[in-house]
A and B are shown apart, each in its own frame.
Chain A
Amino acid sequence: MSSSAVADLLLSVDGVTIDYSGFKALDNFSMTLQRGETRVVIGPNGAGKSTLCDTIIGRVRPSSGRVLFRGEDISGLPEQAIVGRGICRKFQAPGVLPTLSVRNNLALAARKDRRWWKSMGLGIPAAERATIDEVLETIGLAERAGDEAGALSHGEKQWLEIGMVVATGAELLLLDEPTAGMGPAETSRTAQLILGLGASRTVLVIDHDMSFVEQLQASVTVMHQGKFLKQGSIAEIRADAEVAAVYLGHAA
């Protein structure tokens, strides 16, 4: 039992502290993700959720603790090397490339060889084109493939960036607030999109919207002030007095 759990362990954040000149955005924080799992991370504003993503992708470096991916410490690797191992992140503010077409946004993401001298050419290789067409269908933007990404609505930009993260072929996807600014209909489409990614992907989703979290049917990790607070099913988290206090305390 324990050996299969170890074999299925994809990511482990191990006692990580991120120190912004004295202020600990992450404070000895730990969590693990199993292969194929979808996990939701919630917590009040400023709890350190985006900082957790920043740490995993190497945008910030922990002052103590480690990040293990497939059992190897990645916390010192350059950003490109971390992406190369199969981790990709959607930013909280949509990070699509506004002057490129929707298709070209995906083409950059789907590109296998990212060295600069391999960029001296026109067009997209057939294998990558197939990936792009598939992702365009998945995110429902096939009709808009030729439009500039900057012309998309806010929700469509969120989907495009999710599509870019998917198109990289990464095994671990970090989605930072994918439903921010969406109405209920768009939110449930986003949930369908994430559910449709299937078991080949491990997804860490950060979100506030409880209806969205419920649709994902995933287990939930709660963060508070950079620390791990709770983990469990949605029902358990909903019933938890400590979690309620954290959220209410923030509202008050």
Chain B
Amino acid sequence: MSDPTLLQRVSKALPWLLLVLAIVAPFALSAYDLNLLARFMAMAILALGIVLIWGHGGILSLGQGVFFGIGGYAIAMHMKMADLPEGELPDFMLWSGQESLPFWWAPFASPTFAIAAILFVPVLVGSLFAWAVFHRRVGGTYFALITQALALAFATLIISRQDVTGGFNGLTDFYGIFGVGLSSPGVPAALYWLTLALLVASYCGVRLLLASRFGMLLRAARDGENRIRFLGYNPTPFKVVAFAIAAMLAGIAGALFTLHAGVVSPALIGVVPSIEMVVWVAIGGRYSLAGAIVGALLVNIARDAVSSAFPELWLYLMGLLFILVVTLLPNGLAGLVASKRA
């Protein structure tokens, strides 16, 4: 009984085995499949942020698409600008009769600015928004509704300003990033490894955060906000910082996704995609980082399989899956594997 069983050994070794498989995937998968995997891994980075705020902070956000979109549009704007000869306008602006480059487009020509925007605009928007709401001690349900309204407003704004945002079609037709062609030999694999590395780094970072006193206080604020308030803590900053970190992860995810998908558009960041993001995590397990990664990958693989054959069916299927998981498996797939919360 002191010997670990075979099953225990396998489940201990499994994450490492998967990591090795993920590292060698570019040598085994077709270019198409590798690209899909890279997109889904990008989404898994966002899912880690949802575990942080929803699982451990009790903050349900139905607006993570906004931060995903900020990251996505920031890198897309950079690639649009980088492809451009001096003084010319991006293609879609010409088509919609725009005469000059809007002032807020110009700085995106700089790669440093674009990267800073990907990382810090979500943090800034996320923390200002979360502070404004949590400072007033607005409850969870209202918070979820407000984030959903934010997602709706963001997508609507982009669609309505076609001339400077690309509108409903979004931004697409990118050729290179930081001086290398996106489809040059080796580049897709390098971008895949970059995504994998950022996923692993995000996983380690959030895991450390959850194990720290900060993580403890976040869970304490979730379960007994009044108790910690009357122990002398202000619960607001813990929630705001967690939300800002989740926003940053969503921004990174959006930028990587856009690199792999070659497009960013309102259809990827609005209300429905934002809800789907929560569904990945509900299915994987909202308390578990590993569960969220698995959930994001599995649901997106399933989505790809189903929606290419029956595009109409996917939303119904996802709704059904969500209801089944919430009623039967409140801790998601991770709850099946271990009854203990990660």
Question: B72: shortest Cβ distance to chain A, in Å?
Answer: 29
Q: How far is the CB of A204 from chain B (nearest CB, A)?
A: 14
Residue of A whose beta carbon sits closest to that of B341: A99
The interface residues of chain A lying within 8 Å CB-to-CB of B167 are: none
Which residues of chain A are within 8 angstroms of B228 by Cβ–Cβ distance? 97, 108
Asked if B318 is at the interface (CB within 8 A of a chain A CB), the reply is no
Q: Which residue of A lies closest to B217 (CB)?
A: A119
Kindly list chain B residues whose C-beta atoms are within 8 Å of the C-beta of A104.
216
Q: How many A-B residue pairs have CB under 8 A?
A: 79
Q: How far is the CB of B315 from chain A (nearest CB, A)?
A: 34
Contacts of B231 in A (CB 8 A): 83, 88, 108-109, 114, 164, 168
B212 near A121 with CB under 8 A, answer yes
Question: Which A residue sits closest to B212, measured CB to CB?
Answer: A122
- Cβ of A228 within 8 Å of any chain B Cβ, yes or no, is no
Q: For chain A residues 99-131, which have a beta carbon within 8 Å of chain B?
A: 99-100, 104, 107-109, 111, 114, 116, 119-122
**Interface membership of A132, Cβ < 8 A:** no
Whether a CB of chain B sits under 8 angstroms from the CB of A80 is yes
Docked complex Cα distance between A59 and B212 (Å): 29
Interface hit among B87-95, B195-203, B219-227: B219-227
Interface centre among B220, B223, B231 (most CB of A within 10 A): B231
> Closest Cβ of chain A: how far from B133's Cβ, in Å?
17
- Docked pose: A84 CA to B160 CA in angstroms: 51
When distances are taken between beta carbons in the complex, the residues of chain B under 8 Å from A107 are 213, 216
Taken together as a complex, chains A and B put the C-alpha atoms of A250 and B271 apart, in Å, by 55
Task: Indicate if the CB atoms of A122 and B213 lie closer than 8 Å.
Answer: yes
Given A95-B226, A97-B223, check contact A80 B233 (CB 8 Å). yes
Which one of B17-25, B98-106, B175-183, B234-242 is at the interface?
B234-242
The verdict on A96 contacting chain B, using a C-beta distance below 8 Å, is yes
B232 at interface, CB cutoff 8 A: yes
Chain B residues whose C-beta falls within 8 Å of the C-beta of A100 in the assembled complex: 216, 219-220, 223
Q: In this assembly, does A98 line the interface, its C-beta being within 8 Å of a C-beta of chain B?
A: yes
- Within 8 Å of chain A (Cβ to Cβ): is B214? yes
B229 at the interface (CB under 8 A from A): yes
B27 at the interface (CB under 8 A from A): no
The reply to whether the CB of A52 lies closer than 8 angstroms to some CB of chain B is: no
Which residues from A are CB-within-8-Å of B13? Answer: none
Q: A120-B214, A122-B211 are in contact. Are A95 and B232 (CB under 8 A)?
A: no
CB-based contact B234/A96 at 8 Å: no
State in angstroms the CA–CA spacing of A108 and B214 once bound together: 10
Q: Complex Cα distance A111/B231, Å?
A: 9
B226 and A91 form a contact (CB under 8 A): yes
With A80-B233, A121-B213 as given contacts, are A99 and B223 in contact (CB-CB < 8 Å)? yes
Interface contact A59-B241, CB-CB below 8 Å: no
- Contact between A116 and B237 (Cβ–Cβ < 8 Å)? yes
Verify if B32 is at the interface (C-beta below 8 Å from A).
Answer: no
Binding site for A on B (CB under 8 A): 209, 211-214, 216-217, 219-220, 223-224, 226-234, 237-238, 241, 341
Give me 26 A-to-B residue pairs in the complex whose CB atoms sit less than 8 angstroms apart, sorted by A's number: A79-B229, A79-B230, A80-B234, A83-B230, A88-B231, A89-B230, A91-B227, A95-B224, A96-B224, A96-B227, A97-B219, A99-B219, A100-B219, A100-B223, A108-B216, A108-B220, A108-B231, A108-B233, A109-B231, A116-B234, A116-B238, A119-B213, A119-B216, A119-B238, A121-B212, A122-B213
Apart from A95-B226, A99-B341, A114-B232, list 10 A-B contacts with CB within 8 A: A83-B231, A89-B230, A96-B227, A108-B220, A108-B228, A114-B233, A114-B234, A116-B241, A119-B213, A122-B213
